Amino acid sequence: MVQLTVPTDFLNEVKNVVEKHQPELSVYQKQGTVVLEGVFVVSSPEEGPFDSFQIRAGISPSFPEKEPCVFETGKRIPRIADRHINVGTGSCCLCIWEEWLQTTPSPSFENFLTGVMHDYFLSQVYFETKNDWPFGQRTHGIAGLVESFSELLGVESDFEVIENYLHALSVGKFKGHNDCPCGSGERIRKCHREQLKQLSEQFPKGTTLAMLERLRNSRPA
């Protein structure tokens, strides 16, 4: 049996970031994944540390291409979609990953830990006291995904249109005589050719493939 190991540089990077920002977390590797486990502290510049959660997280060496998997293990957060928990797996729905990758100035592990992950648990504390979300929220499920991808691509908020655009972009090349993904019935060269060209420069092929897979997997059966 092959023993999977985490590259030393990546493991050390995670350890250094965690020691700096979340020293109550343990860091170790298991089956080719970096695991964070223990107490995740929530803080603010004004108050300093003021709350905490028991968590476990798996960070792939492929980060940020592969989204981390985070669990709240203290049973404090109800396992329901309205509290941003993925009901099927019990993992935390921190964000729409592809949206974060495209909008953050630097998708580093440090920015993930102190940004997306910290904001998620800060939001949970806020919701417990205010019954509201401090940073707003996407609609749950497929509707929220459509909202997000529609804004990222700058296209109509329609599942089929978004799917068509992502398919065209994930192919890597689109021909002017093909039907435009907008659904107008026109050829690409007479419709959204320039938009598709700009999007292909903005979105790496791997990102559009991941977005397309996430969208299709979210389609109701």
pLDDT in tens, 122-144: 999 999 999 999 987 777 778 88
Statement: residue 196 has pLDDT above 90: yes
Q: What's the average model confidence in pLDDT over 184-212?
A: 92
> What pLDDT score was predicted for residue 221?
62
Task: Tell me which fold the domain 8-130 belongs to.
Answer: Ubiquitin Conjugating Enzyme (3.10.110)
Phi, psi dihedral angles at 94 (to 5 degrees): -70, -40
What is the rounded radius of gyration, in angstroms, for the C-alpha atoms of the chain?
A: 20
Where are the domain boundaries for CATH 3.10.110.10 in the chain?
Answer: 8-130
Q: In 3-state terms, what secondary structure has residue 103?
A: helix
> What pLDDT score was predicted for residue 144?
87
User: Considering the chain, what is the average pLDDT of its residues?
Assistant: 92
pTM: 0.87
Q: Please indicate whether residue 220 or residue 210 has the higher confidence score (pLDDT).
A: 210
- Closest listed residue to residue 155, CA positions, set 147, 99, 206: 147
DSSP character for 67? P
Q: In 3-state terms, what secondary structure has residue 96?
A: coil
- Closest listed residue to residue 117, CA positions, set 43, 221, 48, 209: 43
Do residues 1 and 25 touch, judged by C-beta distance below 8 A?
A: no
Confidence of residue 3 (pLDDT cuts 50, 70, 90): low
Q: Output the CA torsion 117→122→123→127 (10° steps).
A: 150
Q: What is the rounded distance in angstroms from the CA atom of residue 28 to the CA atom of residue 35?
A: 5
Statement: residue 109 has pLDDT above 70: yes
Q: Give residue-wise pLDDT tens across range 35-93.
A: 999 999 999 999 999 999 999 999 999 999 999 999 999 999 999 989 999 988 999 99
